[in-house]
Amino acid sequence: MLHPDRLFPSDPTQRAIARRLYSEVSALPIVSPHGHTDPSWFAKDEAFPDPAALFVKPDHYAFRMLYSQGISMESLGVPRKDGGPVETDSRKIWRLLAANWHLFRGTPTRMWLDHAFETVFGVTERLSAESADRIYDQIEACLRTPEYRPRALFERFNIEVLATTESPLDPLEHHKAIRASGWKGRVVTAFRPDPVVDPEFEGFQANVEQLGAITGENTLGWTGYLAALANRRRTFKEVGGATSTDHGHPTALTADLSRAEAEALFDKALRGTITAAEAELFRGQMLTEMAKMSLEDGLVMQIHPGSFRNHNPVVFDRFGRDKGADIPSQTEYVRALKPLLDRFGNEAKLTIILFTLDETSYSRELAPLAGHYPALRLGPSWWFHDSPEGMRRFREMVTETAGFYNTVGFNDDTRAFCSIPARHDVARRIDVAFLARLVAEHRLDEDEAAELAVDLAYRLAKNAYKL
Ligand SMILES: [Zn+2]
């Protein structure tokens, strides 16, 4: 299924260069500095139950496409919040995926899954209604063997380091267990404070109280609240090996308010009387507070703005968050980031990595910002744009203004464990294809392109995230 020249340029000169560059990076270890795999997999090292549990139920890329064509989430085994009945027969769920495999033509999901089927499970035929049961049996048989346990796969995938993402309220028990187990695989956490810094997050008030209980700080006051956040950041670093924070706000707005103004917003947030505009301002203030803490504790800051979360209330009420109903919206950075940059933009010791779901901002706003401010770096193409065309557009739109060294390599940002090698392989292939064009057009020497290929595939992520 996998052609050795896939994603390389079709022009023979460029293709030959791309092949040579790819040979420099194809076997490099994977650095995965941002993602959402479940740390309990590596703590417990239990076998993945079956193909549907591995490939369908946790992957919103898979079920959002099926759902868009009228296939119910229940029939795909996605658990309901009210515990209502959903399909539990994994083979039936698998057959449903297989019968609708054509829906994924031309999508990165198809590339990732084909890559995993072939390279991880040795499947050599295309998934279809006809082949569904044979492929199911083959994958299920693999999953019953020790070579397919999470830790063995982690080693086989040649992952040097993998970051998960946890809420400040997470006790980090799985990360502690991984460290205590003596296993040498490196899994670290990342600090994602949205549940306690976003007044519109479900259960905000209770979350802030819980933050107080965990840290022994009085989080009902501004000083104690900030101290509790600093405390959890420290624990995330020391206990979970965190090197970064992650912030998933609806916009990139930042603010630099007086203490009195910030306190007043915080009080309203706790009392539940905060307006939508004030909640937005409070989130903006918290980004600036987080940047200040990053300057002190060295955690690299990631801002992932611009997703309208839980756009579909029916799906949210029935199934909860992260069910493929998050939709990108237009995102402005130049004015939004100014308060934060006025305070901290010139700090070379601070690293703030910016992401976008709004590609129009790349050449207009993000590349010029990252190509100037020492504190800023540009994250790779993200989520809907973590795709061959999205990565190509990213390089084309940002390189001439920001260069390569204001970017930070690749993030797989995935919940789907078996897609990690596939996603990194796609990124490496697209990057060498881009470099091959520059070499063929005599804009770059091939030895420089070879060094860059390694930087983009490996070194930049390691350096930017301090891994
Ligand atoms: Zn993420």
Query: pLDDT tens across 334-352, in order?
Result: 999 999 999 999 999 999 9
Question: Residue ranges of the chain with pLDDT lower than 70?
Answer: none
Q: Please, are residues 38 and 175 in contact by the beta-carbon 8 Å criterion?
A: no
Of the CA atoms within 13 Å of residue 87, those in its CB half-sphere come to: 20
B/e letters for 420-441, b = 16+ CB within 10 Å, e = fewer, are bbbbbbbbbbbbbbbbbbbbbe
Instruction: Kindly give the distance from the C-alpha atom of residue 248 to the centroid of ligand 1, in angstroms, as a whole number.
Output: 8
Instruction: Kindly give the distance from the C-alpha atom of residue 53 to the centroid of ligand 1, in angstroms, as a whole number.
Output: 21
B/e letters for 110-122, b = 16+ CB within 10 Å, e = fewer, are bbbbbbbbebbbe
Closest CA to 226 of 263, 177, 183: 263
Q: Give Cβ neighbours of residue 160 (< 8 Å, ≥ 6 apart).
A: 29, 30, 31, 186, 462, 467
Q: Please, are residues 190 and 164 in contact by the beta-carbon 8 Å criterion?
A: yes
Report the predicted TM-score, pTM, of the whole model to 2 decimal places: 0.97
Instruction: Kindly give the distance from the C-alpha atom of residue 309 to the centroid of ligand 1, in angstroms, as a whole number.
Output: 13
Instruction: Kindly give the distance from the C-alpha atom of residue 411 to the centroid of ligand 1, in angstroms, as a whole number.
Output: 9
B/e letters for 66-96, b = 16+ CB within 10 Å, e = fewer, are bbeeebebeebbbeeeeeeebbeebeebbbb
Instruction: Kindly give the distance from the C-alpha atom of residue 168 to the centroid of ligand 1, in angstroms, as a whole number.
Output: 15
CA dist 373 to 101, 246, 252, 370, Å?
A: 45, 20, 16, 6
Check the CA dihedral 209-214-216-217 and report its sign: negative
Closest CA to 31 of 444, 459, 426, 440: 459
Strands 159-163, 300-303: pairing is unpaired
Instruction: Kindly give the distance from the C-alpha atom of residue 258 to the centroid of ligand 1, in angstroms, as a whole number.
Output: 31
Instruction: Kindly give the distance from the C-alpha atom of residue 242 to the centroid of ligand 1, in angstroms, as a whole number.
Output: 15
Instruction: Kindly give the distance from the C-alpha atom of residue 412 to the centroid of ligand 1, in angstroms, as a whole number.
Output: 9
What is the maximum alpha-carbon separation in the chain? 66
- Report residues near ion ligand 1: CB below 5 Å: 413
Instruction: Kindly give the distance from the C-alpha atom of residue 193 to the centroid of ligand 1, in angstroms, as a whole number.
Output: 13
Instruction: Kindly give the distance from the C-alpha atom of residue 413 to the centroid of ligand 1, in angstroms, as a whole number.
Output: 5
Instruction: Kindly give the distance from the C-alpha atom of residue 415 to the centroid of ligand 1, in angstroms, as a whole number.
Output: 9
Instruction: Kindly give the distance from the C-alpha atom of residue 308 to the centroid of ligand 1, in angstroms, as a whole number.
Output: 14
**pLDDT value at residue 1:** 85
